[in-house]
Amino acid sequence: MAAATTGVSALEIEHASVPGRLHDVSLRLEPGQLVALVGPNGSGKSTLLQVAAGLLAADGGRVAWAGRALKTVSFAERGQMAAWVPQEAVFEFGFSVRSVVGQGRFAHDDDDAGVDAVLNRLQLTALAHRPVNRLSGGERHRVLIGRALATEAKLQLWDEPLAALDVRHALEVLRLAHELKHAGHTVLMSLHDLRQAHAFDRVIVLQDGRLQAFGPPAEVLTPERLRDVFGVKARIAPGLSIELP
């Protein structure tokens, strides 16, 4: 909860609208925050992430990274400042795992720095020379997260990174997100598991393209809101708890 109230924001979105998908969303993330983006299917989570990543132009709105309006940031700098992980991990061509992770260094003149460490961190070293189009869905997603990590970008925007992963790898990725946060990165990821969102610094709730709530999880994920937005009944109860050994 180390939200700096002074200084520049890691990500600022002002009045972002995308016709039919996103309606006048404004928010501000601080450096070193781990933020969950939740909402029912079709609520605009992927759209918001793409707007935040500068991949989708918002109507009339403004997006800024580290205090700089996105319009003034060159393409190469964008590749250094923010990383985006798509929801779908589809590869037509058989690049090796290592070379796809290495693409994260494109905006750094392809210097290949830190690629082996990233492979190691995501337990991809054994797969390093395998073609990406022959991997399982979960493995492909880890490759994409690895590529995002290799950019060393301060702003990490991940679209449902956990959906395709088995329980252990999902927990590994969450731990990774926490480490990034402690290293001063800002991580924004969309999620479906509201229980996991509870461990984040901030939660953004989207519904029908509108920002329903934004704040600390205890304030945002109230039983009333969960019923209104997701149509579920929430209850704190002891159950099966899973964590990394």
Partner 1 sequence: MKPAWVTRGALPAAVILLVALVILSLGAGDLHLGLARIWAGLVRRDELAATILWQVRLPRVCVAMLIGGALGASGLVMQAYFRNSLASPGLLGVSSGGAAGAVVAIGAGWASLSLWVLPTAATIGAFVATGAVIGLARRGASTERLLLAGVALNAMLGAVVSYVLSNFTITYERNAQIIFWLLGGLEDRTWEHAAMAVAVLPCAALLWPLGRPMDLLSLGAAEAQSLGVDVRTLRRRLLVLSTVMTALATAVGGTVGFVGLVVPHVLRLLVGPEHRRLVPLSLVGGAAFVLACDLIGRAAGGLRLGIVTALVGGPYFLWLLRRQA
Q: Residue numbers of the site for partner 1 (CB under 8 A)?
A: 50, 53-55, 75-80, 82-84, 86, 90-96, 99-100, 103-104, 106-107, 110, 129, 144, 147, 151
Task: Name the residue nearer to partner 1 (CB basis): 8 or 55.
Answer: 55
The tokens of 209 are what? 């393209």
Task: Name the residue nearer to partner 1 (CB basis): 110 or 228.
Answer: 110
Task: Name the residue nearer to partner 1 (CB basis): 156 or 207.
Answer: 156
Q: Compute the least distance from the CB of residue 92 to partner 1, in Å.
A: 5
The tokens of 135 are what? 């991997």
- Contact 25/54 with Cβ under 8 angstroms? no
Q: Compute the least distance from the CB of residue 144 to partner 1, in Å.
A: 8
Q: Compute the least distance from the CB of residue 3 to partner 1, in Å.
A: 25
Distance CA 107, CA 131 (A): 23
Q: Compute the least distance from the CB of residue 72 to partner 1, in Å.
A: 15
The helix/strand/coil state of 198 is coil
Give the number of other Cβ atoms within 10 Å of residue 17's Cβ: 16
CA atoms within 13 A on the CB side of 17: 7
Distance CA 139, CA 93 (A): 16
Task: Name the residue nearer to partner 1 (CB basis): 107 or 188.
Answer: 107
